[in-house]
Chain A
Amino acid sequence: MSDSTPHGSRVPAEGPAVGQDEWVARHAERRLMRGGVLGSVEERLRRVPWWAWLVLFVAAFSLLPVFEGSGYVRRVAFDTVLYMLLALGLNVVVGWGGLLDLGYVAFYGIGAYAYALLDSDKFGVHLPSLVAVPLIVVIGAVAGLLLGLPSRRLSGDYLAIVTLFFLQLFQTITTNGDSMFGHNVTGGPNGILNVDPFHLFGHDLAVQHGGVFAVSYLYVALGFFVVVFVALRFVNHSRTGRAWRSLREDPLAAEAMGMPVNWLKLMSFSFGAAVAAFTGTIYAALAASVFPLTFYFVLLITVYTMVILGGSGSQAGVVAGALIVSPLLEMLRDGSKSRVIFFVILVAALALAALRSRTLAIVALATIAFGFVVHAVCGAIDSSWIAGEHGGGFAGFTDHWVVAPEHLARWIAPVSYIGVICATLLVTVARGRLRLVLLVPTIYLAAFVWENVMLAKPEPTRFIVLGLILIALMILRPNGLLGERRVEII
């Protein structure tokens, strides 16, 4: 296509760097850019170097405590940074190495426990943080190598089982470690308490400052984040990083090209484990205690959701995933917030649908009307059916829309929940007009279930949302928000 085409222009590219293939290096040149203002903005943004984005992001994040003084928000921000670190580490194994490591959070636990053992009253050891943290990173990397060793010959599925069992083993050892050969090593289910805070340059980093969560840990975590992000980016752009990608795309071809496949797999395992252990130290220092159950399946799925949602393989993607999922999970803890989230998403989806086509606009209007009619009919039959507690979302608008009975009969919860699942599945298989017609009651039923069944129990609800995100993403957009679509050669 020539430069004079009305729709776009080519991106000028520099010559390929050493060790790069010319055809690959010039792939941007062959891409057609969007025209007009949007295109030029996109073009500008593309030229901003990655480190500028990183600086911008970290600067914006570190300004948060300035504007927001509440300890709660700071704590959530801190947790989010921890999740970003965990996601970056998992991205090495899953996104770059292409290995399904289900024991990942065990390394996080190993880091946390190692810190707790090396810096607490448990055995009276108090290593300085600048010694303990690098030591633990090495421990994590070695643990990753050791787990990788028996698994090195194994492909995806076998690896998944060995690593999942490893996670279970970590649980067994930490929970029963209170009588290990007659010694109390890990404190068992009661964990290890009174873990030291970080001790840097002669100062203890206090967790609480005047009763409020101290910002120092947020900054330490951000520092960790920058170190890990930059280090991993360099690794990814090195020979090793390219070798990982080739390994992921086609292990057999990589092996035939003379790549040390086993060693590469071990390396990616080890890198991921080291990052997780690194993150574990700051967690233990902040929480001042470690318990076995923190490092289990739930955390594993949470980190996986972040990596998959953001787009495995893309560093910016997994960070974005953590930035979305972590606050979302936090808000879902609170009934009134999760009610708002649900209706905001619902209204946004309806509005977007309405903008896209006229039929969908009719569906959106029909849904709204349907709700008012059902509410009115139910209210007319028995006023206790609509007398339940409402959150008053959208200035009380939803109070007249969703039916909320005063007393929920025991059968309503399972029947409506299973009903909404069946209805959703039906919508996905129905075609044409039937689908549109089914959509209206399905949305309403979902709102009913959310309001009456799920809000009452935030704990399973949060995780149901995670599970749904994983399934839906895999089917609709397996490359996540920012990941690139992968081509698998079979």
Chain B
Amino acid sequence: MDQFIQLTVDALTLGSVYALIALGYTLVYGVLKLLNFAHGDVFMVGSFIGFGVLQVLGGTSDPVVPVWLLIVLITGAAMAGCAGLGVVIERFAYRPLRDAPRIAPLISALGVSFFLSNSMQLLFGATPRNYNTFDLSNGALYLKGLDIGNVRVPLLRIVTILSAFALMVALWFLVNRTRTGKAMRATSYDREAAAMMGIDIDRVIVFTFVLGSALAGAAGVMFALRVPTNVSIGFIAGLKGFTAAVIGGIGSIPGAMAGGLILGFAEAYSQGYISTKWSDLIVFSILIGFMIFRPQGLLGRADIRKV
């Protein structure tokens, strides 16, 4: 039972990070019908921006600001930095290819991904960067927390999960309850018709990249608060986020959240009960299962091809 609770907490943490990454994929796919391979690397850059700002603010052992503000600041900086990066990538790598054959932006995205991870390695090396969050207020984030049965859920986990969900709720409101969100939905439904209705497509697409990349930046910091980050995490994180988006139904926002959580649960439980090594295999089987039996994903619409 204790192990079950522990694994569930792990699953939620992991799942919320995956869900945030998946949201970036799904948002961009929704408006551009493009799988943004570089998204995983934006996530990685986010974790590095967080690390840099953390060092500027004095590191975890001797921060110059209160702990809560520190976490808010590094997350905010990572979100802002990644949003900027996302805009630049869109402007220079994808916009010129908007009317090219479908495979062209995908290959460009592969190039951007490769360029980003190797540029980071050139500048910062391959050594892992550890946030050392245990040093924050003498380990209070780990030692204090919520007791469920015999298991103590550390404060850091609770904060991570709650803030991830807060971000998702905020995104849901933004997309469903604001004018810009309406424009995004219209663009994703039919880009040409939306343009004819007077929606500035370029602005909507840029805004989508801002949202998606900012979420990736937040996810990067959340990830790095728990485990050390390095320049090559982008590939696996991107792959998992991507899978989560597909499982949930690519293009669907609640789908991405559900997909992320499913993936988190599948991975945590399979690591806990079956084997750490083979959890990728189990996730892959789930993906293949979805591909065969429900290719449109959990909450996605079946694609109708028009001639």
Contact = CB atoms under 8 A, between A and B. Distances in A.
Contacts of A453: 122
B280 A168 contact: yes
Interface size class of B (residues with CB under 8 A): 35 or more
Contacts of A475: 93, 96-97, 108
B27 to A, nearest CB: 15
Given A165-B243, A252-B307, A150 B101 contact: no
A328 interface: no
Given A425-B91, A464-B122, 14 more contacts: A160-B35, A164-B242, A165-B239, A168-B284, A176-B277, A252-B305, A457-B122, A460-B121, A461-B122, A467-B111, A467-B113, A470-B107, A474-B105, A478-B97
A377 interface: no
B138 interface: no
B287 A464 contact: no
B107 A425 contact: no
Contacts of B239: 161, 164-165, 168
Secondary structure class of chain A's binding surface, majority of residues:
helix
Interface in B106-146: 106-108, 110-116, 118-119, 121-124
B291 A158 contact: yes
22 contacts: A100-B107, A102-B110, A156-B103, A156-B106, A157-B35, A161-B239, A161-B242, A161-B243, A162-B287, A166-B284, A168-B280, A176-B277, A252-B305, A425-B91, A454-B122, A463-B114, A466-B114, A467-B113, A467-B114, A467-B118, A469-B111, A474-B108
B104 interface: yes
Contacts of A151: 291
A297 B291 CA distance: 23
A345 B95 CA distance: 28
Closest 6 CB pairs of A and B: A470-B111, A467-B115, A467-B114, A474-B108, A460-B122, A471-B111
A304 B107 contact: yes
Contacts of B280: 168-169, 172
Contact of A428 (B92, B114, B119, B124): B92
A221 interface: no
A292 interface: no
Interface of A: 94, 98, 100, 102, 150-151, 153-154, 156-158, 160-162, 164-166, 168-169, 172-173, 176, 179, 252-253, 297, 301, 304, 308, 413-414, 417, 425, 428, 453-454, 457, 459-461, 463-464, 466-471, 474-475, 478, 486, 488
B278 interface: yes
Contacts, number: 139
B103 A100 contact: yes
A414 B113 CA distance: 18
B88 A154 contact: no
Among B106, B242, B243, B291, chain A packs the most CB atoms within 10 A around the CB of B291
A292 to B, nearest CB: 13
A471 B115 contact: yes
B235 interface: yes
Nearest to A461: B122
A407 B239 CA distance: 40
Contacts of A98: 103
B292 interface: yes
B246 A471 contact: no
Contact of B118 (A157, A158, A428, A463): A463
A161 B118 contact: no
